Chains A and B, each alone.
Chain A
Amino acid sequence: MSFAAYQPLLDFFLLSLGFAYSQQVVLRAGVFSIATPAFAALGGYCSAILVQRYGAPAIPSVLLALVIGGVAGFLISIPLARLRGVFQAIATLALVQIVVSLAYYLEPLTGGATGIHNIPKLVNTWHLLAVVAVVIWFMYVLSRSGVGRAFDVLRQDEMVGATLGVSIARYHALAFIISGALGGLFGGLQSLYVFTIEPEMFGFAFLTAVLTYIILGGPRSVLGPIVGTAVMVALPEISRPLAEHRQFVQGAILMAMIVFLPHGLVDGLEVAWRQRQARRLDKEDREKRRAHAVAGP
């Protein structure tokens, strides 16, 4: 088959990857946020309304989507700093529901349940590729910086982070801002790519899909979301039964991963590899010492 046949799949992969990074960055910082659908909806409606209703050009619309997502992320990070664990998850779930039900309610603006249609298609594969390349670079830089290290310590042990001077409120806010900006950005791109936007696109299915990318790939590495998203996007294409039972397979993957490889494919393999290295070094060490003891007096 030619490249053209796979192009829609590639585009879908690129958009999903953006949402996956939006979800990953909060999980990496140890925040149980599942607000990515809310950010995506905000950005999506923003660019859809600007372009379709007011004929705004693509670049400023998408940039505004990014800014709105980031601002929304910052705003909810303030109250959420007071909550912990699953309570953060519940609060962000409520946020998603509020945004979606407002999309239904604000009909003059959002088109209500029918949504907005005939949005000009201003985004193509090359645009998506370029944006994703920038995002991957950004995530790479982030993961190598002090910010990445601060996120890592907060995810693994908040108390250690605090006693080393890592400000929980500050870094959680930063994670929310980045998550919101990425969610808004790709929501905005999606609107200008798929012609249409409606509230249903941001429901439970979106949420579970995005979570699956990260659970499968891993919450820490830059490569994780790429692998997770690629597998989930490609699976239905591999064989018919996989496509027909997509939900079932997705559920089974989620359960199996969380039980057997809770750090995801990429991060999990990395840890396992390092542990093997460690064991090998220890063994060499022991043998050396034994040899020494035998040779010694």
Chain B
Amino acid sequence: MLSLALERVSKSFGGVQAVSDVSLEVTPGQITGLIGPNGAGKTTVVNLITGVLRLTEGRIRLGDTDLTEANASTVARLGVSRTFQNIRLLKEASVLDNVMIGFHRQEETGLAAQLVGLPSSWRESRSLVKRAQALLERFGMTRFARHPAGALSYGHQRRVEMIRAIASGPRVLLLDEPVAGMNDVEAAELGHIFEDVAKSGVALLLIEHNIRFVNALCRHVYVLDSGRLIAQGTPGQVMHDPGVIAAYLGTS
């Protein structure tokens, strides 16, 4: 059970400080929240963790492993998965194929065996298909398995992206505004799924705009504004923090 820790992380683009001096910890088995108004730097934090962007200062650790210099695919191989704020599915591929891609780093047959089509490779492919179908079943998406992902409704696409991230067997899962554009019923449904995933020992970081949703799910919440952490604590503590209220309602 490894937790993800950011230690005094900063990122600047040119002269603009997008994230400054942010420290936070995402612990396994629970959902940690990261909230903040638009443009606070939430997605930048996700990009820094996943190695899409390089940090200017600070350190990122997963357990004892240093992720500070790692690139995106290394970070992924170490067990960090994410979803994207603007859904990124392979639109023309089927839903099943989209989920299958999530298994990439669990494939064990060697390249050579795959290329010449050894029976072991076929067996693995078949078992992955079964696992993908089981995941789709679990999230009530079985009947869409053969659909091209791009043809699904917005909510369903979000769900497929979630399933793909879960398929990758993450130790840390970063959810970038997963319920944006959903109604309360759909959001609540997805919330139960997050809780399930967290219970299985995954460290979840929920990046959200919607404070109500975060309060319902998270035990610990960080608040980001203009690239800085302005508060942290339980949802109750954070909601009564004057700085947070000012950031959300605007200083008067």
Contacts and interface: CB of A to CB of B under 8 A. Distances in A.
Interface string A148-164: 01101100110111111
Interface stretch (A67-75, A90-98, A209-217, A274-282): A274-282
B109 A146 contact: yes
Interface centre among A142, A144, A157, A278 (most CB of B within 10 A): A278
A174 B81 CA distance: 25
Given A159-B52, A163-B52, A271 B148 contact: yes
A163 B94 contact: no
Interface string A68-93: 00000000000000000000000000
A156 B72 CA distance: 17
A163 B167 CA distance: 13
A2 interface: no
Contacts of B168: 164-165
Interface residues of B, number: 45
A147 interface: yes
B114 A274 contact: no
Nearest to B100: A149
Contact of B151 (A142, A149, A263, A275): A275
A278 B147 contact: yes
Given A147-B115, A271-B92, A165 B76 contact: yes
Nearest to A147: B114
Given A163-B76, A166-B73, A274 B81 contact: no
10 contacts: A137-B117, A142-B114, A147-B114, A150-B101, A156-B93, A160-B90, A162-B72, A274-B151, A277-B146, A281-B147
> What are the 5 A-B residue pairs with the smallest beta carbon separation, nearest first?
A141-B117, A165-B76, A162-B72, A165-B105, A145-B114
Interface of A: 137-138, 141-142, 144-147, 149-150, 152-153, 156-157, 159-168, 174, 263, 271, 274-275, 277-279, 281
Interface of B: 50-52, 71-73, 75-77, 81-82, 84, 88, 90-94, 97, 100-105, 107, 109, 111, 114-117, 121-122, 124-125, 143-144, 146-148, 151-152, 164, 168
